Amino acid sequence: MKLKNFIIPFVVIFITNAGGVCAGEALEWKECVREAIKQHPELMTSLEKVNQAKANKEITRSAVMPQITGNASETTAKGAAFGSSGGTGQSDITVSSTRKPKTTYEYSVTGQQLLFDGFKTSFDLSSAERNIVSSRYNYDVTSSNIRLRLKTAFSNLLSSQELLKVTEEIEARRKQNLELVKLRYEGGREHRGSLLTAEADVAQASYDVNQAGRSIYFSQRQLTKELGRSSFRPMAAKGELEVKERVSERPNFDELVETTPFLQQLIAQKEAAKFGLKSAYADFFPQVYASGNIGNSNVDAFPDKNEWSGGVSLTLPIFDGGNRFAAVSKAKAVLGQASDDERSGRDSVILTLADTWTRLQNTVENVAVQRKFLEATEERAKIARAEYAIGLMSFDNWIIIENNLASAKKSFVNSEVNSLIAEAGWVQAKGGTLDYDKE
């Protein structure tokens, strides 16, 4: 019976964790970072947005470059000759198709160059440049958010692995406790309620082991997503549950906020909106173009001489149904929104910095506290077991100490992972991207 009680839980644990940590690849944190940089789809999307912004600038720049078009054609036409004949008061119409086809050759090259447009194109180029800057900061913001999620997933897998070890230790201890209670029960020194309680504790410990195994699988799935992998395969996190980013003194959040990519993105968007408003005002100025044309046409032979023309044109819209005034009103509203977004974003980032720094300090200190509790409960549990074995402590008092030990072990692991996640939140609030850990 004892052998059966040992083998069955072992088989359950093995099946639960099959394809989990034991069968998977071991990944260190920096390996995860390098992989996410290469293939995370959200990061690739942000990079394409940067490329789009660059292309939009080149499209805008094309307006100040010479615009040249060419045209060449060959047209063949064939006409019909009509005639009439009359005799007795009647006329007959005849059609002759012997007329020779006529071919016309024509070519031309036309060029146009913008001379002045109220600096509208210049403002549009400046706005496009700020949009490129904004898209680059958006890339950094995306990278920062991915790092937070990736670090959280990695930390969760680390803690799940550690929690599995802890629950297995608790289960083994619960089984030893059950054997001790059985001996005392069989010797008539313990009642049946204590025996049933010890058996329930073993069942709870076995459930915790199975739950920890399932948590590992979920954490592996979470990490797979944040790595940007297209398919799942088991893996293990390799590292320590230890915080490395320690900032015991409170930083100057008002200065720190200025370096965050999120705020810099909002500032770039506001600058782009300023140039957008200037561009809208520039529509009220005339547009001046220089244009020229060279070409010729000829019948039945390709032209051997060129004709050319050149000139300057000025265009000034007089009435467009209020379109330009509406465009200025819209540009003002866009600028107002961008300014308010910057102010709101600055306040939000400062608050986030204060919150994440506070949380980091609290969780780091809590790890030290939980370590003390764990050391104390381990010592008490060692003494209590010895006292219970020789009858100096009741089951009710002993089992409370054993339960405290199990809780202290789990709480210590949870405090460690909470500190790691708080550290990731602090780095993200500062604007730390995936490049923060690449080297």
CA–CA distance, 128 with 383 (Å, rounded to integer): 73
Q: 143, 150, 39, 152: which is closest to 431 by C-alpha?
A: 143
Q: How many CB atoms lie within 10 A of CB 99?
A: 10
Q: What is the mean pLDDT of residues 144-170?
A: 97
What CATH number corresponds to the domain at position 9? 1.20.1600.10
User: According to the model, what pLDDT value does residue 6 have?
Assistant: 40
CA–CA distance, 166 with 409 (Å, rounded to integer): 7
Tell me the per-residue pLDDT of 50-95, one tens digit each, with 9 for 90 and over: 999 999 999 999 988 999 999 888 888 876 554 555 555 455 555 5
Nearest 5°: the CA angle 84, 85, 90 is: 105
Query: Is residue 267 situated within a structural domain?
Result: yes
Query: Is residue 88 situated within a structural domain?
Result: no
Query: Is residue 101 situated within a structural domain?
Result: no
Residue 146 pLDDT greater than 60, yes or no: yes
Q: Tell me which of 57-66, 215-224, 306-315 is least confident.
A: 306-315
Q: What are the beta bridge partners of residue 238?
A: 28
Tell me the backbone φ, ψ of residue 82, rounded to 5 degrees.
Answer: -110, 145
CA–CA distance, 149 with 428 (Å, rounded to integer): 10
Provide the 3-class DSSP secondary structure of residue 356.
helix
User: According to the model, what pLDDT value does residue 67 have?
Assistant: 92
Q: What are the beta bridge partners of residue 113?
A: 290
CA–CA distance, 194 with 409 (Å, rounded to integer): 23
Question: What integer best gives the mean pLDDT of the chain?
Answer: 88
CA–CA distance, 133 with 279 (Å, rounded to integer): 19
DSSP letter at 245? -
Q: How many CB atoms lie within 10 A of CB 423?
A: 23
Beta-sheet strands, E only, within 156-306: 235-238, 287-299
As for how many domains the chain has, the answer is: 1
> Which single residue is written with the structure tokens 């359950």?
12
Domain range enclosing 250: 2-65+120-285+323-433
- Written as six digits, the tokens of 111 are 């060029």
Query: Is residue 294 situated within a structural domain?
Result: no
User: According to the model, what pLDDT value does residue 8 have?
Assistant: 38
Query: Is residue 109 situated within a structural domain?
Result: no
Tell me the per-residue pLDDT of 252-263, one tens digit each, with 9 for 90 and over: 999 999 999 999
Residue 232 pLDDT greater than 90, yes or no: yes
Tell me the per-residue pLDDT of 166-192, one tens digit each, with 9 for 90 and over: 999 999 999 999 999 999 999 889 999
The pLDDT confidence band at residue 300, using thresholds 50, 70 and 90, is low
CA–CA distance, 327 with 185 (Å, rounded to integer): 89
Transcribe 67-95 into DSSP letters: EEEEEEEEEEE---EEEEEESSS-EEEEE
Residue 201 pLDDT greater than 50, yes or no: yes
Query: Is residue 115 situated within a structural domain?
Result: no
Q: What is the dihedral of CA 297, 303, 304, 310, to 10 degrees?
A: 30
CA–CA distance, 53 with 135 (Å, rounded to integer): 7
3-state secondary structure 279-295: HHHHCCCCEEEEEEEEE
User: According to the model, what pLDDT value does residue 84 have?
Assistant: 52
Q: Tell me which of 74-78, 133-137, 145-149 is least confident.
A: 74-78
Q: Dihedral of CA 177/183/185/189: which sign?
A: negative
Contact, 434 vs 147, CB < 8 A?
Answer: yes
Query: Is residue 316 situated within a structural domain?
Result: no
User: According to the model, what pLDDT value does residue 159 have?
Assistant: 95
Query: Is residue 125 situated within a structural domain?
Result: yes
